[in-house]
Structure 1
Amino acid sequence: MKREELYREIGLIDEDLIEAAGQSGTVNKKKGFSKKWVALVACLVLYSSTASALLATEYYKNQNAEPYIRYLRAEDMELLPVPKYDGMKFLQALTSDNEEHVYIAINRLVEGFNDPSLRAKALQKLQPFARNENPKIADAAAFAIDILSQSYRSPYIVKLADGSMLFTLFNHYSDYGSQNVLWRIKDNKLEEYSSFSAPSLYITDIIPSPDKRLVAVVTCSNKSEFVQIINVEAGRTSPELVESARVKYGAEQEIDTWIRPDYENYSYADHIVWKDNDTLEFQGSLAYQDTEIIENVTVTYQFSSKVIEVKKLN
């Protein structure tokens, strides 16, 4: 028996080793790529890169074609520039024979407060209207003159602890109240501070806290009243208190509380007073199921702690 056969029998040699030993004298030659294959691969790479670039370009083109709208404002939907305040237009309107136009122009001229030249012209033109036979025009002119002359003596002006002043324009133009926009003068600059949306169509009162750091703003429609507290300097506002009281009291008394789609509450606030610098109290007439149920209550709200209490009036 040959040595190799003996080793196979006793398992001391591996078949692969024997085969490798038999080929130990041969030399393997590496095969190289031909030039035509190199050219073909290069063409494929170039084609792939070009196609990717074209696809990316088309993708970004489509991305840019899609509009991105985060929030739509009313003026955006008009597709026109927002008209700028034109004080000269209101100066010219003072010569109108239409008393309504004159009344509107007088009030709108206050908005020119920040323009010294316009303010001087308006003051000169407004003087005769303070003696107008129409009491509404005379009252509006007196108020406009008070603001534009920087006298600030009008009872319509609420002076706050931070040195700013709040007021409305078109004071008591309606039986329901004044325009539902709050204007503020601070550091000798006029700005539109806040406006109220429907159903708060009119401002009926602005009641400062004893320390003049907060104001209670009473608004209304022809069906409902609303009350909010504002920290003007900090820009903080309470929830609307009449509806908050109506919902809270309704839940406590297990009364069905419907919230109308027009947000009218058919409820009213009366005897609104500050109990201290942070606490507002008023008597509320709260309506449920339209006006089938009327509950008379006392409402107390602490602004800093955001606590509202509603108690039935005895």
Structure 2
Amino acid sequence: MKKEDLFKEIGLIDENLIEAAGHNGTEKKKKGISKKWVILVACLVLYSSTASALLATEYYKNQNSEPYIRYLNAEDMELEPATQYDAEKFLHALKSDNNEYVYIAINRLVESFNDPTLRVKALKQLQPFIKNENQKIADAAAFAVDILSKSYRSPYIVKLADGSMIFTLFNNYSDYGSQNVIWRIKDNVLKEYLSFSAPSMYITKIIPSPNHKLIAIVTCSNKSNFVQISNIEEGMTSPELIESARVKYGAQKELDTWIRNDHENYSYADNLVWKDNDTLVFEGSLAYQNTEIIENVTVKYQFSKKIIEVKEKGL
């Protein structure tokens, strides 16, 4: 039923209500009014159901046109079962009418970097997607082409002092961040350099030191932040700094500091700044007793000496 018909039906009911009032509310008119109310309710139900169906259709349409991936699992990444990397499978997936498959395939094709033939083939097929009307697909294609063409102009690429480059794939695919894997190109060879296990599900920031010898890496779950410093060239990584800060500050303030089995810390980091080539400073919001107590602090970590300082914010 159209909305106009529904309003017309309401108008009839209003007239009957007036007429019934003018005849002292006889039983006959009461029954007439009751019948009209039944019609009204039925129309409202029909109109509501139709509207809900249209909204649901539009929702699923948008889900396909604007791929939203909450978390990348192994099955998502492969599109179908596979025992090793298969570039041809991802090239074929570019023809899919499922934008989520296309998006995954574009990112995975970066992994064909080391094979000259596949790299050229992927480049040719990825070029048209740079102008795709879907911004997430267009951005992914632009990044993939930047890597495969060896242009290296993307702001997502961190160039290090040793001449190597690091980056993530699936950049900002989720509201939380990028894929939790760091890739490295050194001596014209692409390798997976570092990956993070749960609860570090997403990479949110990679911040190089001023001399680009160290990087600060911020990862997160949907509950917590985690911070580590890595010397890529020498293959050394600091302890996780937020949990380290929680333990140290808890001891200083005589707070119970329980370490959860799932390693969530319910704490957060903000305003990360390199004070020099060796020292990282950031603000932390540290949780204790299941978030009953929140302590706002400043954390300073000196990488070479493995020294962490935690102070109440403002002191």
TM-score (norm: length of structure 1): 0.74
Q: State the partner residue of 1:41.
A: none
1:38-53 equivalences in 2 (<5 Å)? none
Which residue matches 2:301? Answer: 301
SS across alignment from 2:192: strand
- How far 1:83 moved relative to its partner? 1.3
RMSD over equivalenced CA pairs, Å: 1.3
Which digits, 9 at most, give the CA deviation of each residue in 1:128-185, with x for residues without a partner?
1000011100000000000000000000000000000000000000000000000000
Q: Distance in 1 between matches of 2:198 and 2:252?
A: 28
Q: 5 Å matches for 1:194-273?
A: 194-273=194-273
- Matched residue of 2:124: which SS? helix
CA distance in 1, matches of 2:155, 2:208: 13
Q: Quote the Cα distance in structure 1 between the aligned partners of 2:129 and 2:224.
A: 34
* Amino acid in the other structure paired with 1:239: P
CA shift at 1:285, angstroms? 0.2
Measure the CA separation in 2 of the matches of 1:209 and 1:249.
Answer: 25
Greater Rg by CA: 1
Q: What residue is the counterpart of 1:31 in the other structure?
A: none
Which one has a larger percent helix, Structure 1 or Structure 2?
2
SS of the equivalent of 1:137 reads helix
What is the CA-CA distance between 1:82 and the residue it aligns to? 7.9
Equivalent AA in structure 2 for residue 193 of structure 1 = Y
- Measured in 2, the distance between the counterparts of 1:248 and 1:82 equals 45
> Could you list the per-position Cα deviations for residues 41-75 of structure 1 after superposition, in whole angstroms to 9, with x for gaps in the alignment?
xxxxxxxxxxxxxxxxxxxxxxxxxxxxxxxxxxx
Distance of 1:84 and 1:180 partners within structure 2: 20
Q: CA deviation at 1:290?
A: 1.1
* 1:86 corresponds to: 86
Aligned residues: 235
Q: Distance in 2 between matches of 1:171 and 1:82?
A: 24
> What is the rounded CA distance, in whole Å, between the counterparts of 1:131 and 1:205 in structure 2?
27
Q: Determine the structure 2 residue equivalent to 1:183.
A: 183
Consecutive unaligned residues of structure 2, counting only runs of 5 or more, are: 1-80
2:136 paired residue number: 136
Q: Which residue of 1 aligns with 2:118?
A: 118
Amino acid corresponding to residue 162 of structure 2 in structure 1:
D
Structure 1: tracts of 5 or more residues without a match: 1-80
* Aligned counterparts of 2:205 and 2:185: Cα–Cα separation in 1: 18
* In structure 1, C-alpha distance between the alignment counterparts of 2:313 and 2:124, rounded to whole Å: 54
